[in-house]
């Protein structure tokens, strides 16, 4: 129903900035929520940020104040603006989309984009 493709990852020095994009294959205007997750080597996938209907946003404590999630509905694109990057931010970043608030709603995932932060 929804295909998601992340881009914008790369190598950056600590303290630097990077903007990730997630392009959706269809309109995101009716999607309940979209989010960013990340997974570092040897770790489980970790929630980073969410934006849902009404443009309400939430952030993990580890990124609060440094990362900003946003979307361009007209372009069917989700963004994650990352600043003041730290080596511990190094991970594969994934976007996802949820069709509804209930546990039975469908969730779609992108393929991920690598972010590497050097010290």
As given in the structure block, the two tokens for residue 81 are: 């603006």
List b or e across 62-81, with b for residues whose CB sees 16 or more CB atoms inside 10 angstroms: ebeeebbbebeeeebbbbbe
Q: Tell me which residue of 108, 109, 93 sits closest to 7, measured CA to CA.
A: 93
Supply the Cα-derived Rg of the chain in whole angstroms: 14
Q: What are the 10-residue block averages of pLDDT along the chain, 119 residues in total?
A: 95 98 93 96 96 94 98 96 98 96 91 97
* DSSP state for residue 41 in the 8-state scheme: T
What pLDDT was estimated at residue 101? 87
């Amino acid at each position: 129903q929804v295909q998601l493709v992340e881009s914008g990852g790369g190598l950056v020095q600590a303290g630097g900035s990077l903007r990730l994009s997630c392009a959706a294959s269809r309109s995101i205007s009716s999607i309940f929520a979209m989010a960013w997750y990340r997974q570092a080597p040897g770790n489980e996938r970790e929630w980073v940020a969410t934006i849902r209907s009404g443009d309400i946003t939430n952030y993990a404590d580890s990124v609060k104040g440094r990362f900003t999630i946003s979307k361009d509905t007209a372009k069917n694109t989700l963004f994650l603006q990352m600043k003041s990057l730290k080596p511990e931010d190094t991970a594969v970043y994934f976007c996802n989309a949820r069709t509804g608030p209930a546990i039975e709603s469908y969730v779609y995932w992108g393929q991920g984009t690598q972010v590497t932060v050097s010290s």
